[in-house]
Amino acid sequence: MIWEPEFSKRRRTCMLMVTHACNLNCSYCYETHKKNVYMNVDLAKEIILREAQFVKDSPDFDELEIDFMGGEPFMNFPLIKEIVEWLEGGVIDIPFICFATTNATLLTDEIKNWLREHKNTINLGASYDGNTQMQSTNRGTDKHNIDLAFFKELWPHQSSRMTISKETLPTLAEGVLDMQKKGYELDAALAQGVDWTIDDALIYREQLLILKDAYLKNPVLTPFNRLTRFVAVTDASDREKIQEKFCGTGKQMATYDVDGKKYGCHMFTPLVCGKDKSFLVDAVDWESAESTADEYCKSCVLRNFCPTCAGFNYKYRGNLAVRDKRWCPMVLAEAITACEFQVERLATVDKLDAKDAQHGRTALKAYKALKDFDIEQSQSPYTI
């Protein structure tokens, strides 16, 4: 199957900002207000108990995910350790899982052994940006000897997370395939707040085509997520509908800062926005899609494919709805190549199930709408 896994809307995500500190200085990092501040364990327990009760009383949720976030969350490993062991004692009576994304540079042998003992309670994802050179370029450090085999051993179905920077874009395919041929899967995303250009979009298209051909030639490799996204173009009849929201900020999730204050997600915390620009969860009606709908994009055929984040919109442009228009050619390059890959991939399958067939029809329809756009010449919003 080549579509993205469906997000469970029955899961409530409780994000705990366990620290604002980090031991690295990544080139694309949007957390521009780092400090050596840490969440108190007792406060974390209080928040989790409150969130568990909320899930228990809610008709909308069945389970709870507790995300340890930073900064680098393992800067506050004592809290993670105590919370996980406390939860294993049965203090909440609903299904739950703990999760953390980490740069993996602080995982000592002692911490790894502890994680092995508790792997069914806490799931880790590695933040890793490709081959050795790409890692060094993005992370500003030579601490690139990350033990990815450890992650695969404990959580074989958990992908690593790659951020594509302007500097590593020209070696994207090489980095992705290098990891995959070693047996590691990954998801990737373009860095935010970057001055992406038409030239970058042409390079992106080139790199995605290399990956497309590699996956078609070697079906054993799992296609990475930028080529498997569901590409549905917006018909003229749908143009009056409000643009879809891309996440559950403020509804499916809530973020608690080191002091216990509650935000829609981590993007609105002081760590990201600074003390003066951050705002609490109740400052926005998160039920309304209108708050994140960009009028500029209303006529664009890719408006519901184009990845947007209300938090990044707010941080970089001061408005939840206003998207970064420098992304437009990058998104067009990705959409065209993803359509090509999905149509060609499904053409090699002898018998399609209903979901695969529907996915193929949607990709083919999207490709027919997009194939005549010229990445160099076309101007957004992309209309037919």
Q: Judge whether 281 lies within some domain.
A: no
Residue 369's domain spans which residues? 199-232+293-309+324-376
Decide if 301 is inside a domain. yes
Check residue 33 and report its DSSP letter: -
Residue 329 placed within a domain = yes
- The answer to the question of residue 275 being in a domain is no
Question: 54 pLDDT exceeds 70?
Answer: yes
CA dist 159 and 100 (Å) reads 13
pLDDT band at 237 (very low <50, low <70, confident <90, very high): low
Output the pLDDT for position 352: 77
State the average pLDDT for the chain.
Answer: 91
Kindly state the average pLDDT of the residues 213-220: 94
Degrees to nearest 5, angle at CA 88 with 84 and 89: 120
Share above pLDDT 90 across residues of the chain, in percent, rounded to a whole number: 73
- Residue 307 — pLDDT band, cuts 50, 70, 90? confident
In a domain, 349, yes or no: yes
Is 94 domain-assigned?
no
7 in any annotated domain = no
Asked whether residue 369 is assigned to any structural domain, the reply reads yes
Check residue 144 and give its pLDDT: 58
pLDDT higher for 54 or 8?
A: 54
Burial 240-273 (b: 16+ CB within 10 A, else e): eeebebebbbbebbbbbbbeeeebbbbbbbbbbb
Q: What is the per-residue pLDDT for 236?
A: 65
Query: 39-43, 84-88, 230-234: which range is least confident on average?
Result: 230-234
Number of structural domains, the chain? 1
